[in-house]
Amino acid sequence: MNQLSWFDLFRKEQETTNILAQKQITKAIATVTELKDIMVAFSEEKTSEAEEHIEKLFENEAEIDDIRRTILNELTKQKLPSKYRQNVIHIIKCLDVLADHVKDSARNIKILLNTEIPKEILDVNVRIVDALVQAAVFLSTAIEMIGVNPPQSLEFSKKVDVQEHIVDEEYLKVKALFLKHSDEVDVATLLVLKDLLECLEKIADTCADTADYIRVLRMK
């Protein structure tokens, strides 16, 4: 008889907590999608629309925090073996960190609203967020497939890495554009743009780190 993966056991014995975990995955992915909507509205100078999406994102991120606290509290009451509990906690915390980086990105965009930004820079940032949405969707699927279809989980985790590589390439392009447009963008604005870029890279890194962890789980 094959040994159950940690996610199998989690599904089978802890239905309430699993529902919460699934909800957190959905909410975390929603924040990345919302970030794309924010970035597109920002690039198209639709300030009011961007602000609406930012507020919605902040609400989602706050709910993710509440779900995380509830899950961690529920796990203290359950009889899962230590290694399974730690695996669940690790995934939950990774998703929480992901949402934190998304929120930080949105904060930077909120500061930049009504600021003149070269379209060339905005266009690359939109491409970065497109890749982040893809990475987040692939990551969500990889997590879902851990205990259902391990080979599929592996394939989707690899797709996350491809998107992270795309973000890395676009990251360098934006940095080059900072130099190109340094005469037309003031230093304070460039600093906020740089912080935004770093936050976007952290989202990609968190997705990739979580995908790495999923591959480790498959070998346990």
| pLDDT computed for residue 197 by the predictor | 98
Task: Say how many CA atoms lie within 13 Å of 65 toward its Cβ.
Answer: 8
Per the listing, tokens 């989690």 go with 10
pLDDT score of 3 more than 60: no
| pLDDT computed for residue 146 by the predictor | 81
| pLDDT computed for residue 85 by the predictor | 72
Domain boundaries of the chain, sorted by first residue? 6-218
Q: pTM for this structure?
A: 0.89
DSSP string, 33-60: HHHHHHHHHHHTT-HHHHHHHHHHHHHH
pLDDT score of 80 more than 70: no
Closest CA to 213 of 93, 64, 78: 93
The helix (H) or strand (E) run that includes residue 201 is helix 187-218
| CATH entry 3.40.50.300 includes domain 6-218 | no
Q: Within the chain, how many helices (H) and strands (E) appear?
A: 7, 0
| pLDDT digit string, tens, across residues 41-59 | 999 999 999 999 999 999 9
Residue partners of 75: CB distance under 8 A and separation at least 6: 17, 85, 88, 89
Mean per-residue pLDDT, 203-209 = 96
The span from the CA of 162 to the CA of 14, in Å, is 33
The span from the CA of 196 to the CA of 167, in Å, is 13
pLDDT score of 20 more than 90: no
